[in-house]
Each structure stands twice: as C-alpha cells, then as structure tokens.
Amino acid sequence: MDDVSWSDEELKACVEAYVEMQRNERTGQLIVKKQYYKKLVEMFGRSEQAFESRMQNISYVLSLMGRGWMTGLKPAKNIEPLVAARVEQLLEQTSGQKVVPVAAFEIAVREATEQKDLPKPSGNPRPKRRRISVAQLQRDPSVKAWVLQQAAGTCESCEKPAPFQGADGLPYLELHYVQGLADGGADAVSNAVALCPNCHREIHYGANAHAVEAWLYDTVQRLERD
C-alpha cells in the first residue's frame, strides 16, 4: 500500500467503484477492473496496484460485516481499524442501509487474538453506551478474543469443531452473551461463550434455548450467573 494516507475523496471513489463493479458482477456483466483502476489513477495518482489492494481491503470490510465480496478481490487484512470504519460507513451510505458498525471492533478482536499471553480481561459490568444512528453497546475486543482463544475452534455448546473457516482463515465461531448486554448483562468472560452458528441461533431462537443455557452454565466453568 502507498505510504501517503488516503483522502476521504479517494476512499469514497474506491467504494463507489467497488459497489459498481460488484453490481455488474452480480448481474453477470463483464467487468474490467483495470479500467476502473485506470480511472482512479487518473483522478488521484498512486498505482493501479495500490487501488487493487484497496479494493481487497473493501472485500475484507465486507467480509467482517457478513456481506458478500467480489470473487476476484480476495479480502486483504492490511487496513487500519479507523479506515475500515470509514469504509464501512461509506458502504452503508451507498447501500442506503443503516447497520451497526462492526469493522473496527472485529479488526481489534483479530489483532488481540493474535497476541500471545493475552491477559484475562477484567471486563466491564456496565459497558459504555455511545450515540450512533442505531444503539450499540461498546464491547471490549479482548473479551471476545480471550473467549475465542479458550474455545480454540470448538463450539462450547455442542463441542464440535467450527463448521467452516472464515474468510479471514480463522475457525468461524460467534460470541454469545449468556445474559444479553441489552438486558443488562456484563461484557465479561464470565458471561460470554463461543458458539457455532447453529448453537448460537438455537440459543436465541430454539425451543430448547433454556436447556442449552443451563447446560452451558453447568459445563463452562468460567460462567457465572449474576
């Protein structure tokens, strides 16, 4: 990536180009990425390679948001959390959908997960609330990272390996707060488990949700009922 930091105009133009290419890909139209890059080079300088790599960053942000990314643009992780947050915002603006921002948090989680001897986070019994277009409880990425490390790729409910690898190459598990944050639960490892998507859906929507929850309290030693 180029050293000079990217202006908002550049990011905006990249996101717009990406969205247009993606739309064309979805509708089965022929896309020549090089033509898009050439246009961007004319507008902003830099190299075509720099824009290609930026497009791969956009794929990465989309993958963190759980959204589809272009097949020819493999997600690339080398993006600053703040820039990722801005890209996420621009993607949201282009799609006209209001979503809870996740990119900066998920990148922070991944960075913390790679840390050896990540200290056990003390957590926060009352996570801070911040005003955004939609309400989101601010979570500590290290809580999720620590729980994922403990789970080591295995669902803490069904005790089976993560069903697939994420686009980031990590075993795909989701964090679940046994007592929901919105219901006053703590953002703490004593209130969080790593679940496979099936078990996560089940604990939210399944007829046996309460039994699953009771089983988790019995078997996952670090869990504490408040």
**List of residues contacting Zn ion (CB under 5 A):** 155, 157-158, 176, 196, 199
For residue 69, give Cα distances in angstroms to 30, 95, 97. 16, 14, 17
Closer Cβ to Zn ion, 86 or 176, answer by number: 176
Q: List Cβ neighbours of 32 (8 Å cut-off, separation of 6 or more).
A: none
DSSP 8-state secondary structure symbol assigned to residue 197: H
Q: Which is nearer to Zn ion, 17 or 162 (CB)?
A: 162
How far apart, in Å, are the Cα atoms of 84 and each of 6, 10, 11, 19, 49?
12, 14, 10, 16, 19
Shortest separation between residue 191's beta carbon and Zn ion, angstroms: 11
Q: How far is the CB of 99 from Zn ion (least distance, A)?
A: 17
For residue 174, the minimal CB distance to Zn ion (Å) is 7
Q: Would you say 37 and 71 are in contact if contact means Cβ atoms under 8 Å apart?
A: no
In the complex, the smallest distance separating the C-beta of residue 172 from Zn ion, rounded to whole angstroms, is: 11
* CB of 50 or CB of 162, closer to Zn ion: 162
Of 102 and 158, which CB lies nearer to Zn ion in the complex structure?
158
Tell me how far apart the alpha carbons of residues 29 and 101 are, in angstroms, rounded to a whole number.
31
